[in-house]
Amino acid sequence: MERYNKLVEHIKKLESVVVAFSGGVDSTLVLKAAKDALGDKVVALTIHAPFHLNWEIKEAKEIAEKLGVRHEIIEFGDIMPEIIDNPSDRCYLCKKKVFQVIKDFAENEGIVYVLDGTNADDDKDYRPGLKALRELNVLSPLQSVKITKAEVRSVSKKLELETWDKPAYACILSRIEYGQRIKEEDLRKIEEGELYLMGIGFSTVRIRLHGQLARIEVAEQDLARLLTPKIYRQVNNELKSLGFSYVTVDLEGYRMGSQNEVL
């Protein structure tokens, strides 16, 4: 727990913080450390936009309540016009807008610092959103004390945080091909399709959207099961009933940020 203690000591220097809180494994550990470091001088803030998974918002509420942290939710009613056509710098544009809202909330509360859950591994993928965080002086304590994703999970397990083995769920916009117009009905189809696949036992899953073709990614060890005739027929029927025109399986399996491979 030496690494966790360093994290707590690092946050103690900040006096009071707003934690950008998704309910995922990284931001939950940051929120727990902030609570241990600063007590009641912590606010968890969740943004609820059309491109967020509705069930994750519910989980975020439950986790913040269990940790005993004040939790606020800000609703974004519409998809931002800057990202509606899903440009390659979408993540930058989105993060800049979202975290400006979080910074404004912190300022209104008299809180100087905003924290997020970026970890020491996040520089390994194409993540233009990190540039926006730096421009807005958002602090990433996991990155500052060099805690990797594996260490986040290990420490979270020792702390008995329920998120320790929660699969990574990147922003749902990462499922849509760059240059394809973002439509809320597509976002909900993707969400429902992934929930279905998780419900039949695929814990790591992505549905990547190309036009109206659904490209399914599951963990490599789950590919054989997905490709059994009984399962793939069920999945094909279910996803087509949600409105996808075509359904295919990516034979490379799940990999982080696979839509970035074209960039």
**20 bridge partner residues:** 45
Judge if 191 and 149 occupy the same domain: no
Q: Name the residue range of residue 108's domain.
A: 2-158
pLDDT band, very low/low/confident/very high, at 171 (cuts 50, 70, 90)? confident
Q: List the beta strands (DSSP E) in 86-228.
A: 113-115, 205-210, 213-218
- In this prediction, residue 224 carries a pLDDT of 97
- In this prediction, residue 130 carries a pLDDT of 81
Judge if 114 and 180 occupy the same domain: no
Dist. CA 204–CA 169, nearest whole Å:
9
The HSE-up count of residue 26 (CA atoms within 13 Å, CB side) is 22
Q: Please check whether residue 218 is in contact with residue 208, taking contact to mean a CB–CB distance below 8 angstroms.
A: no
Residue 263, pLDDT above cutoff 60: no
Higher pLDDT, 129 or 253: 253
Dist. CA 99–CA 89, nearest whole Å:
16
Whether residue 166 lies inside any domain: the answer is no
Judge if 153 and 28 occupy the same domain: yes
Mean pLDDT of 200-204: 94
Judge if 48 and 136 occupy the same domain: yes
* Per-residue model confidence as pLDDT tens digits over 60-105: 999 999 999 999 999 987 888 999 999 989 989 998 999 999 999 9
Nearest to 217 by CA among 146, 169, 162: 169
Whether residue 256 lies inside any domain: the answer is yes
* Tally of structural domains, the chain: 2
Dist. CA 94–CA 191, nearest whole Å:
19
Is residue 171 part of the annotated active site? The answer reads yes
Q: Please check whether residue 182 is in contact with residue 84, taking contact to mean a CB–CB distance below 8 angstroms.
A: yes
Dist. CA 53–CA 77, nearest whole Å:
14
Of 136, 159, 171, 249, catalytic: 171
Which amino acid belongs to residue 225? Answer: R
Judge if 124 and 9 occupy the same domain: yes
The two tokens of residue 219 are: 């963990």
Whether residue 163 lies inside any domain: the answer is no
Judge if 73 and 135 occupy the same domain: yes
* Per-residue model confidence as pLDDT tens digits over 44-64: 999 998 888 778 889 999 999
